[in-house]
Structure 1
Amino acid sequence: MENILKSNIRIKHYFVELIEIPFTNPVHLPFGTITTRPSAWLTIEAEVDNKVVRGAAEGTSLPIQIPMYDDYSGNLQQNISRILTSLTNNKLTVSETINRINSVDLGGNFATARMTVEAAILDAVARSHKRSVVSYLDNKPSSAVRYIPYGKSITEKDRNSIISAANNAVKDGAKRLKFKVSPENCYTLLSSLRQIQKMYPNIDCAVDANGMFDPENETHIHMLHLIDELNLLTIEEPVSRAGRVFGLDAHRSLAQKLKLQTPITVDDAIKSLKDAKTTLSEGLADIINLKPGRIGSFVKCVEIANYAKSIGKEVMVGGMFEATPGRMMTLSLAAYCLTLNFKIPGDVSLPQERLISDITTQQLHLNDDYSVIFKPTHGWGYSI
């Protein structure tokens, strides 16, 4: 991304609004059930290398606050405005601008707010050069079609609904299924997964615990042992936000209590390249989940992917229930990861499968091989 980072940019004006988009069905997460998800939709007008252009980006959050994640609908719009106030009318390189974004004191991490500003800037710069952002990474023509393997997260709660959702996802072409698991639904999910594995022995299955198991709770350790016996693709974020220890310390505690045979993916505990290096060097995980909205930067996600590749470790691209603009950004990251020969399909399901409405009128589609068709043209790929 070196060329895009060298461009000069001066933000002249910006507009940010919060859009609540309802789900087609309630989404059951380990920390609560949600029926809508808020998106910050940011548009900027900027001077890029002496050209005046517009850029835009979506930042997706939650309607509730949860441990280890400080962005939510109550602060996302305000924090984006605070960051942009410090940037407006300052002429900087894109690299300098990203450093400034990360240095703004918001009283916390607020990764999604920071990522949204960075993403709008990258969008504007790419548009000024009539290129797509991903073309700076994979060196393909901006108009080239990329085909991205399709993975689906299953968030249903009861056994019949879980199996039905899995059936529908496989019918729609999902190449990987990921199921939400917590201490509360563990035994229901275990029963469901055993049935699904019998029905679809060639489909990779994984679970995502969102850090809700406590590494110091013996019952939780037993549950993780039972999950480990399923021979899954990965157990994502088994610990990190429940009990006495949090983050990577929780993963260290788990490693002392239980030697899992299933590859571990770390998600919410990763905030930076330094965290990723620590996680992989200490053997706390085998896979890093890349979410720009959680790490706080698309550029940092690229750096983590490059590092993982250099030491022979895997990454997967995560999703945060994005609408089409946000999904096009994660597809750009997934497309780059494919060029690095990472193997695990990311959470890049079609937004219209889960959301009643969208920010743009554009929609993504699948090809006959059930991969997402991604043709980004300029910027991240959507019209503004």
Structure 2
Amino acid sequence: MMRLKDPFTTSFGTMQDKEFYIIEAIDTDGNSGFGESVAFTSPWYSEETVKTNLHVMEDFLIKILQENEVNHPDDVSKLFEPIKRNNMAKSALEGAIWDLYAKRKNISLAAALGGKKKEIDVGISIGIQPTVKDLLNTVEHYIKEGYKRIKIKVKPGWDVDVLRAVREQFPDTPIMADANSAYTLADIEHLKQLDDLNLTMIEQPLGHDDIVDHAKLQAVMKTPICLDESIHSLEDTRKAIQLGSCKIINIKIGRVGGLTEAKRIHDYCLERGIEVWCGGMLEAGVGRSHNIALTTLSGFTLPGDTAGSSRYWEKDIITPEVTVDNGIIKVPNKPGIGYDIDRDALKAFTVSEKVFEF
């Protein structure tokens, strides 16, 4: 368990303590690959939780891996297909195998995925603040630090007027709003007011499992809609694009079941001119490094949420920690995730440990 520097508030609620699992896959030569689970303690983002991740990994997914041969990380998602959803549990294990694969090949995880970028642009996600003044001060702070895009969490009662105040003070800053499914089609006229604010996008304004009503909303709004919670697979992506439900897709590795599916979604969107970016789930260093590697793919044209380690943690579990210089992260070129595990920090934060033999 790790404690965030500051509470993070969205339309769902507020959290400060982050529980998660670090998965270490070790081969017979002593190489180690690392993955991170991203589910939260409560099922407010999706149906998955930290405890359900453990249950599914322990009782189903690890057994599947024990009983089958894996020649390439892409094999993992295929093996996991009989287990419905539980994408964050799947992603945690698959991520460790991807890292191990890259290290055995002596290449970076970015290169293993086909990424070419040597550096990536990053934005910042700002939770709901106590006052508009607090928000404006926070936005100003991160603009001065050079972040390439500001994402602001919104909810009914904290939306149009708040965003208007930000836009008035920062007329040229790329700004997006993230609603986390806080609205319905009854709010169409209200949401259309956002079209005057020149936002990069509004993320997931309607139901977490919806693509039909989002299509109705996008048809009457100039502001691009970005889908997040609605997209769990390439098939969801195909249907959303076909319906016109969005113009942008946020790809979160855990939400879609791992790097293999994330790359498939990226490739599909790239072919069809749909912009994508990499969202964050308040990851520690391992999950953050996977996000960096994924973002090196050419279709990631919009700054993601992969801020530096110090944005969230007093101390991360990797060394060196992820750092941002004027809104840019330099992609590590060491084998695998490109960062070493700080074993002392990992031990200090660990509350339990289990070993599975293969």
Query: Could you tell me which of 98, 121, 139 is aligned with 1:122?
Result: 98
Q: Could you say what secondary structure the match of 1:366 adopts?
A: coil
Cα distance in 1 between the residues matched to 2:41 and 2:334: 32
Aligned to 1:113: 89
Query: Do structure 1's residue 300 and structure 2's residue 258 form an aligned pair?
Result: no
TM-score, normalised relative to structure 2: 0.88
**8 A Cα contact 2:289 2:337, kept in partner:** yes
- Letter in structure 1 aligned against 2:308: L
Matched residue, 1:377: 334
Partner of 2:348 in structure 1? none
The 5 A counterparts of 1:66-145 are 66=44, 69-82=46-59, 83-88=61-66, 90-94=68-72, 95-103=74-82, 105=83, 109-138=85-114
SS for the counterpart of 1:88 is helix
2:289 to 293, 313, 328: 328
Question: Are the equivalent residues in 2 in contact too, given 1:149–1:370 (CA < 8 A)?
Answer: yes
Q: Which has the higher strand share?
A: 1
**Count of matched residue pairs:** 338
Distance 1:277-1:80 versus aligned 2 partners, 3 A rule: same
Contact kept in structure 2, 1:156 and 1:165, CA below 8 Å: no
**1:166 aligned counterpart, secondary structure:** helix
String of CA shifts for 1:81-107, please: whole Å, max 9, x gaps.
23112212532322333211232x3xx
Are 2:170 and 1:200 aligned? yes
Residues 128 and 284 of structure 1: CA distance in aligned 2, closer, same or farther (over 3 Å): same
- The C-alpha deviation readout for 1:308-357, integer Å capped at 9, x for no partner, is 11111211111111111111111111111xx34x4311111112212233
* AA aligned opposite 1:155: G
Q: Is the 8 A contact 1:22 1:357 kept in 2?
A: no
Contact 1:204 1:232 in 2 (8 A): yes
Question: 2:291·2:306 contact (CA, 8 Å) conserved in 1?
Answer: yes
- Find out whether 1:161 has 2:131 as its counterpart: no
Aligned partner of 1:151 in structure 2 is 123
The answer to whether structure 1 residue 24 and structure 2 residue 5 are counterparts is yes
Q: 1:323 to 1:178 in 2, by over 3 A?
A: same
Compared CA separation, residues 156 and 325, structure 1 to 2 (3 A): same
Q: 1:1-384 residue pairs with structure 2 within 5 A? A: 20-46=1-27, 53-66=31-44, 69-82=46-59, 83-88=61-66, 90-94=68-72, 95-103=74-82, 105=83, 109-138=85-114, 146-157=118-129, 158-186=131-159, 190-215=160-185, 217=186, 220-241=187-208, 246-255=209-218, 259-336=220-297, 339-340=298-299, 342-367=300-325, 369-384=326-341
1:286-321, CA deviations, whole angstroms, 9 ceiling, x for partnerless residues? Answer: 011100111112111111111111111211111111
Moved runs in structure 1, 4+ residues, more than 6 A?
Answer: none
Q: How many Å apart are 1:42 and its aligned residue? A: 0.6
Unaligned runs of 5+ in 2: 342-358
The one-letter code matched in structure 1 to 2:135 is I
What is the letter of the counterpart of residue 80 of structure 1?
A: M
Contact 2:215 2:246 in 1 (8 A): no
Letter of the 1:53 partner, please give it: N
The percent of aligned pairs where both chains have the same amino acid is: 25
TM-score by length of 1: 0.82
How far apart are 1:139 and its partner, in Å? 6.3
- Contact 2:122–2:305 (8 Å) recurs in 1: yes
Q: Is the 8 A contact 1:237 1:266 kept in 2?
A: yes
Question: Do the aligned partners of residues 193 and 373 (structure 1) sit closer, same or farther apart at CA in structure 2, a change above 3 Å counting?
Answer: same
How far does residue 358 in structure 1 lie from its aligned partner after superposition? 2.2
Aligned amino acid, residue 76 of structure 1: N
**C-alpha separation in 1, matches of 2:151 and 2:70:** 41
> In structure 1, how many angstroms separate the alpha carbons of the residues matched to 2:313 and 2:279?
17
Paired with 1:101 and 1:52, the residues of 2 have a C-alpha distance of: 25
